[in-house]
A and B are shown apart, each in its own frame.
Chain A
């Protein structure tokens, strides 16, 4: 297994609250890794540590190492903005820039990164929209406001925006939780297609979704990584009683 991201003894805090505890794992490259666990288990915080988003919150703190291509993203001198270009993120609620058109939404990240050439922008926007399986639906009206799209389309627009800067890793935090089953299914298909070219880490509350889209699954509980193994194993023969209780719906 080639490593996409290597996490070493990662800890995260909100103020005095220790929310991610001594997590070490190797996220496989060009595969989908699902992160599951009950609310408040630290799964979202965990993925936000992977692209240095966690530290943007007041009072937040991180220790440990996150290696991408062998390079520690938390080493001194590493620019967090560069890290976030290499490791993109999609959130629970689609959040297109409200005043911008479809085109501008996807181009925004590129322009922030200094791309000004219209031809290059057009090419990269189309590529991003195609990768996000949205191109055919919007190609005739790229000037339409992003907010005019349906919920599922808006989420794919956000994915296109994240993909336009050509990240190596895409983090997704509950990307389907606000979507209906049909829109969710499209995103799931998209996740599977994208994983051929990039490493995907998806936080999900839906275990059926984790089963469908991921090759590997990590189970978090109370900030700890309880178990990380191939999805087909975790859902048929989990190695830890706590995982079994969670995935079979036994709650105290």
Chain B
């Protein structure tokens, strides 16, 4: 017997996919604006954040509605709570795209800075992680989610390498310090994007397997007693 709540859950999943697409576009446009030194493109990304925020609110509202009307349990409940968390991560990725676009506007008036290739690789990797984390969500694919989590270190490494290169540039030529600093900042934003993708992937693992891999170091043995229980 089909359940009415299934329609609502499917529509929630679709809303997440739509928001995920919008955020990925924002990120792509921000990086394109950087490469092309495209002021109009950067401004479009900044304006586009309003749409992302609106989707964030819409999905949150839908989640609250499903919780209130259907009192979901078990797998259904984990889906709704996962969506609420994923949406926050997606909204933050949107903010990082805006941050990048703002640095682009500043860079356009300054001299171009050198090691862009590393930065583009980093952007590529972070965007790839984001895409895969969303695919893992849709496909309930925990193997893919675990690969996303593992890729996080790679992005961190790229960021370190880029930082050292930019440091050399800045030491060699003090005039390169302002634009190089902006590139360092952009690499930081991309690192954050990868972190958000990792968060999404970790929530997918929770949703599917009901095991929390987030903050694994802080995890303690699962509670087996209720607050009100006496020893």
Asked if A32 contacts B71 (CB within 8 A), the reply is: no
Asked if B229 contacts A208 (CB within 8 A), the reply is: no
Asked if B231 contacts A207 (CB within 8 A), the reply is: no
Asked if B73 contacts A215 (CB within 8 A), the reply is: no
Known contacts: A244-B74, A244-B75, A248-B74. The answer to whether A30 contacts B1 by CB under 8 A is no
B5 within 8 A of A: yes
Between B71, B78, B226, B228, the greatest number of chain A beta carbons within 10 A of the residue's beta carbon is seen for: B226
Secondary structure dominating the interface of B = loop
Known contacts: A237-B78, A244-B75. The answer to whether A231 contacts B226 by CB under 8 A is yes
Asked if A230 contacts B226 (CB within 8 A), the reply is: yes
Asked if A30 contacts B230 (CB within 8 A), the reply is: yes
Known contacts: A249-B5, A251-B1. The answer to whether A215 contacts B229 by CB under 8 A is yes
Complex Cα spacing A244 to B5, Å: 15
Interface bits A212-252 vs B (CB < 8 Å: 1, else 0): 00111000000000000111110111100001100111111
Asked if B210 contacts A28 (CB within 8 A), the reply is: no
Asked if B71 contacts A208 (CB within 8 A), the reply is: yes
The A-contacting residues of B in range 205-231, CB under 8 angstroms, are 210, 222-231
Complex Cα spacing A89 to B231, Å: 25
Residues of A close to B1: CB separation below 8 A: 250-252
Interface bits B78-104 vs A (CB < 8 Å: 1, else 0): 100000000000000000000000000
B74: which of A30, A196, A247, A251 is its contact (CB, 8 Å)?
A247
B77 within 8 A of A: yes
B112 within 8 A of A: no
User: Closest chain A residue to B4 by CB distance?
Assistant: A249
A2 within 8 A of B: yes
Interface bits A13-41 vs B (CB < 8 Å: 1, else 0): 00000000000000011111000000000
Distance (whole angstroms) from the CB of B210 to the closest CB of chain A: 4
Complex Cα spacing A160 to B83, Å: 46
Asked if A236 contacts B210 (CB within 8 A), the reply is: yes
Complex Cα spacing A215 to B227, Å: 8
Asked if B77 contacts A235 (CB within 8 A), the reply is: yes
Residues of B close to A230: CB separation below 8 A: 223-226
Asked if B71 contacts A215 (CB within 8 A), the reply is: no
A192 within 8 A of B: yes
Complex Cα spacing A218 to B77, Å: 19
Complex Cα spacing A250 to B76, Å: 11
The A-contacting residues of B in range 1-30, CB under 8 angstroms, are 1, 3, 5
Residues of B close to A29: CB separation below 8 A: 230
Asked if A236 contacts B224 (CB within 8 A), the reply is: no
List 5 interface pairs A-B (beta carbons < 8 Å), by A numbering. Answer: A32-B228, A192-B228, A237-B74, A248-B3, A248-B72
